[in-house]
Structure 1
Amino acid sequence: MRVIQFILDLGPTVMMPVIITLLGLLFRQKFAKAFRAGLTIGIGFAGINLVIGLLVNNLSPATQAMVNNWGLSLDVMDVGWPISAAISFGTTIVPAVFIIGFVINIIMLAMNWTKTMNVDLWNYWHFIFTGALVMFATDSLALGLVAAALTIIIILKLADWTSPLVQDFFGLDGVSLPHTETVSWAPVGIAINKILEKIPGINKIELDTDMIQKRFGIFGEPMLMGLFLGAIIGGVASYDLRGIIQLGVNMAAVMFLMPRMVRILMEGLIPLSESARDFISKKFPGKEVYIGLDAAIAIGHPAVISTGLVMIPITLLLAAVLPGNRLLPFTDLAILPFFMIWAVAPSRGNVFRGIITGTIFMIGILYIGTAISGVSTVMAKSVGFAFPEGTAEISSLDGGAHLVPYIIYKVIELIF
C-alpha cells in the first residue's frame, strides 16, 4: 500500500514520463526519443490539469452561488469526486484491486481480449470504488473483488468499442478512454443519438461548433462561445458585472487553451503509438494496441465544454423537480463537461443533441447518486471522513456517474 500511495502521490505529470519512457524502450525506441516523448506527455498533462484547475476554480464559486440563490434543500450532500476518490483509497481493498487490475489487463492483452493498455493508474480508484461499494453492502471482500474485476473487464471492452470514435472525432490517434464514469455512458449516448436521428424535425437540427462559427463568424469561435456562456453562468449565479466579466474571460481562456494542451500531449503520444504499432505488427501480426488514458484529454473539444456549461443550471433544475431525488448538486457541478463527453461524441459535436442526451444522463446520475448515498456514507464513516456540519448522508455526482459499477453493485446485491 505504501508503494502504491507513493506512485499515486507523484501524480500523472511525474509518472507519465516514466511510464511512457519505459513503454517506448519496450517498443524498441532509442532512450532519447522515448524520454522526450514521455516528458512531452507529462508536460501535456500538466497543462491540461492547469486548464482544468482554471475551469473548476472559477466554476465552483458560481455553482455554489446558484445553489444558495435557488434555495435548494436536499438531504444528501454532493461532496465531489476528490472526496469519493479519497474515501475509496482509504478502504482495505486497494492493494488487491491494483494487483487484479494489472493482471487482468495483461491477460486480456495477451489473449487478444482487449486492445487497451490502461496506463491511467490514478483512475484505478473507479474500480476500487466499485469493489468497496459491494464489499460494504454485502460485508464480503470476495464479492467486492469480483465486482472490481468485472468492472475492469467491462470498461476495457467499452474503451475498445469506443476507441474508433475517440480517434476520429476527438483526433486522439492510438488512444482509448477506459474512464469509468464517462465511458460507462457511451452505449446510452449512442443509443439516444440513434433515436434522435429518427425523430422528424429534431434530426434536422445541426448545432455543432463548426456550423455556429460559419453562421456567426468571429462570435461563433470557441473562445467567444466560452466568453458568452461564462457570462451567462455568472448572470445566473447573480454575480456583479465585474464577476460576470471575469468568469466569461476565464471560460474563454479554457475554451482556447484546452485544445492546445491536448495537442502538446499528442505530440508526445504519436511517436509512442507509431513505435507500438511497428513493434506489435512485427512481433504479433494483425494485433493492435491502444494507449488507455484519462478522459480529461477529451473535454477540450469546444462542444463538450459548451454542453457542460449549459448543463449546470439544467442539472440544478432537475435536482429540484425530480421526484425521489435527494442529492444536492454542489462540488461536482464544476466537472460536468466530463460527463458530457459521450453526450456529444455520438452526434459528432451537435450541441443541441448533446443537451438532450446530457439531460437524460444527469437524470440517471442524480438517481444513482441518491441510491448509493447510504453505502457511500458507511464507507466514509469507516475511513474517518469528517462530515460537513449538518450533513447526515453524502454522495457525489461523480459517484452517480459510475453506471457500470452501479449495475454490477445492484445485481450482486439482489443475488446475495
Structure 2
Amino acid sequence: LGAMVFFATGSLAWAFYAAIVLYVITLCMADFTAKGFQSYYKDMDGISIPQPFCQSFTPFAVAICWVLDRIPGFSKLDIDAEGMKKKFGPLGEPLFLGLLIGCGIGALRCDSWKAVVDSIPSILKLGVTVGAVMELIPRITALFIEGLKPICEQSRSFIEKRFSGLKGLSIGMSPALVIGHPTTLVVSILLIPVILFLSVFLPGNKFLPLASLAGMFYLFPCVLPITKGNVPKTFVIGLVALIAGLFFVTDLTPAFTKAIAVADCDGIAVPEGFEGGAALDFASALWCWSIYHLTVTLKWIGAVLAGLLAVGMCAVNFVRIRRAK
C-alpha cells in the first residue's frame, strides 16, 4: 500500500501515513478477532492474525452472516467439514472431496463428451492431485503449528515477565498455520472455477486472476470463526468478497502496475505493451483499497477520516482490553 500511495502521490510522507494507518487498523482487527480465532482453531492459544488481506474479509463475514442468518431456511443449513464426514462417511473425507472437485474441474474444461472421454487420464490425474493437496496440507500445517507453538509460548512468557501490564498478549503469526482447515480447502477449491468464470463475464471487471489463485486459501482464516466452519455460509462470503475484490483490483491496477514498473528490482520487468497487473491477495483487500482512496483520492479530508478511524479503533480496543482485565 505504501508503495502504491508513494507512486500515486510522489510523497513519501503520504506513503508512510497510509501504511501506518493500515497496520494500526490491522492490529486492532487482529485483537478484535483473536478470541474467536483462538477458540475456533485447535492449539492456537495466544495467537492472532495481523495480516491485512485476512482481516479485510472480516467485515464482509460479519455483515453477510447477519443477512444469511435472517433468511428463512438458510440459517438452519448447517454443513461443516466434520458434519460431512459424519453424514457421508468416507465420501465426506477431504481426500474424496478433492478427488471429486478435481475431476469436476478437469471435466469442465472439455467442450464435448468426446473430449471428456479422451481426457479421462488427465482428469483423473487432476482429481488425484487435488485430493492429495486436501489430504496433505492439513498434515503439513500441523507440523508448522507443532514447531511454532513453543516459540510463541516462550515469546509470550518472556514479554509477560518483563512487562506486567501485557498479560494475555497475543502473538501475531502467519495465517498459513490454519489454511489446512478442511472447510478452507473445500470452499477455496470450489471458488476457483467460479471466480475464474465470473472474472471473464462480469461487466466492468478487467482483472483475470491466475497466479493470484494460489492465495485463495488466505481469504478464510478469520472468516471461519465467524461462520463456525459452515460451508455454505463460507462459500457465499467468499464469493461476495471476491466479486467485490475483482472490482477493487481493477480499480487499483494502474497504481499497482506503476509501482511494479518503477521498482526496477532484479528479475522484475514490465513487458512492452503490458497494460496492467495486480495481485488478488493484496489489491482486493477492503482496507487497502479504502485507505488508498482516502489518502490519494480524497487527500486531506480522506487522510483525516482514515486517521480518525484508526484512532477510534485504538480507543475501542484499549477500552476492551481494560475491561477484560
**Would you say same fold, with TM above 0.5?**
yes
> What residue number does 1:313 align with?
193
Contact (CA 8 Å) 1:343, 1:355: kept in 2 or not? Answer: no
Aligned AA (2:168): E
> What is the DSSP-based 3-state SS (H/G/I as helix, E as strand, rest coil) of the residue aligned with 2:229?
coil
**CA drift at 1:280:** 4.6
**CA drift at 1:352:** 0.6
| Whole-angstrom CA distance in 1 between matches of 2:21 and 2:76 | 40
Q: Which moved more, 1:215-224 or 1:289-298?
A: 289-298
**CA drift at 1:262:** 2.1
> What residue number does 2:21 align with?
150
> What residue number does 2:320 align with?
none
Contact (CA 8 Å) 1:373, 1:395: kept in 2 or not? Answer: yes
Contact (CA 8 Å) 1:182, 1:401: kept in 2 or not? Answer: no
Residue 162 in structure 1 maps to residue 40 in structure 2: no
| Distance of aligned partners of 1:396 and 1:402 in 2 relative to their CA distance in 1, 3 Å threshold | same
| Whole-angstrom CA distance in 1 between matches of 2:257 and 2:158 | 48
Contact (CA 8 Å) 1:277, 1:289: kept in 2 or not? Answer: yes
Residue 363 in structure 1 maps to residue 243 in structure 2: yes
| Whole-angstrom CA distance in 2 between matches of 1:415 and 1:390 | 31
Aligned AA (1:263): A
Contact (CA 8 Å) 1:368, 1:400: kept in 2 or not? Answer: yes
> What residue number does 2:134 align with?
255
Identity score, percent: 34
- Counting only pairs closer than 5 Å after superposition, residues 110-121 of structure 1 correspond to structure 2 as none
> What residue number does 2:100 align with?
228
> What residue number does 2:63 align with?
191
| Whole-angstrom CA distance in 2 between matches of 1:346 and 1:204 | 16
> What is the DSSP-based 3-state SS (H/G/I as helix, E as strand, rest coil) of the residue aligned with 1:395?
coil
| Distance of aligned partners of 1:336 and 1:151 in 2 relative to their CA distance in 1, 3 Å threshold | same
**CA drift at 1:316:** 1.8
* Number of equivalenced pairs: 287
Residue 375 in structure 1 maps to residue 255 in structure 2: yes
Residue 399 in structure 1 maps to residue 282 in structure 2: yes
**CA drift at 1:388:** 4.7
Runs (4+) off by over 6 Å: none
| Distance of aligned partners of 1:140 and 1:277 in 2 relative to their CA distance in 1, 3 Å threshold | closer
CA deviation map 1:375-401 (0-9, x unaligned): 112112212443356531222212332
> What residue number does 1:412 align with?
295
CA deviation map 1:33-55 (0-9, x unaligned): xxxxxxxxxxxxxxxxxxxxxxx
| Whole-angstrom CA distance in 2 between matches of 1:259 and 1:243 | 25
> What residue number does 1:328 align with?
208
> What residue number does 2:217 align with?
337
CA deviation map 1:66-114 (0-9, x unaligned): xxxxxxxxxxxxxxxxxxxxxxxxxxxxxxxxxxxxxxxxxxxxxxxxx
Contact (CA 8 Å) 1:364, 1:400: kept in 2 or not? Answer: no
| Distance of aligned partners of 1:141 and 1:279 in 2 relative to their CA distance in 1, 3 Å threshold | closer
Any gaps of 5 or more consecutive residues in structure 1?
1-129
| Whole-angstrom CA distance in 1 between matches of 2:255 and 2:166 | 45
| Distance of aligned partners of 1:390 and 1:137 in 2 relative to their CA distance in 1, 3 Å threshold | closer
Aligned AA (1:307): V
| Whole-angstrom CA distance in 2 between matches of 1:217 and 1:138 | 57
> What residue number does 1:242 align with?
121
> What is the DSSP-based 3-state SS (H/G/I as helix, E as strand, rest coil) of the residue aligned with 2:277?
strand
| Whole-angstrom CA distance in 1 between matches of 2:154 and 2:296 | 45
- Counting only pairs closer than 5 Å after superposition, residues 17-416 of structure 1 correspond to structure 2 as 130-171=1-42, 172-238=44-110, 240-283=119-162, 284=164, 287-384=167-264, 385-388=268-271, 390-416=273-299
Aligned AA (2:54): T
**CA drift at 1:356:** 0.8
| Whole-angstrom CA distance in 1 between matches of 2:231 and 2:178 | 15
Contact (CA 8 Å) 2:46, 2:168: kept in 1 or not? Answer: no
CA deviation map 1:160-209 (0-9, x unaligned): 11112222222222211112111111122122112211211111111211
> What is the DSSP-based 3-state SS (H/G/I as helix, E as strand, rest coil) of the residue aligned with 2:171?
strand
Contact (CA 8 Å) 1:339, 1:401: kept in 2 or not? Answer: no
**CA drift at 1:329:** 2.0
**CA drift at 1:407:** 0.8
**CA drift at 1:320:** 2.5
> What residue number does 2:302 align with?
none
| Whole-angstrom CA distance in 2 between matches of 1:233 and 1:352 | 19
| Distance of aligned partners of 1:174 and 1:269 in 2 relative to their CA distance in 1, 3 Å threshold | farther
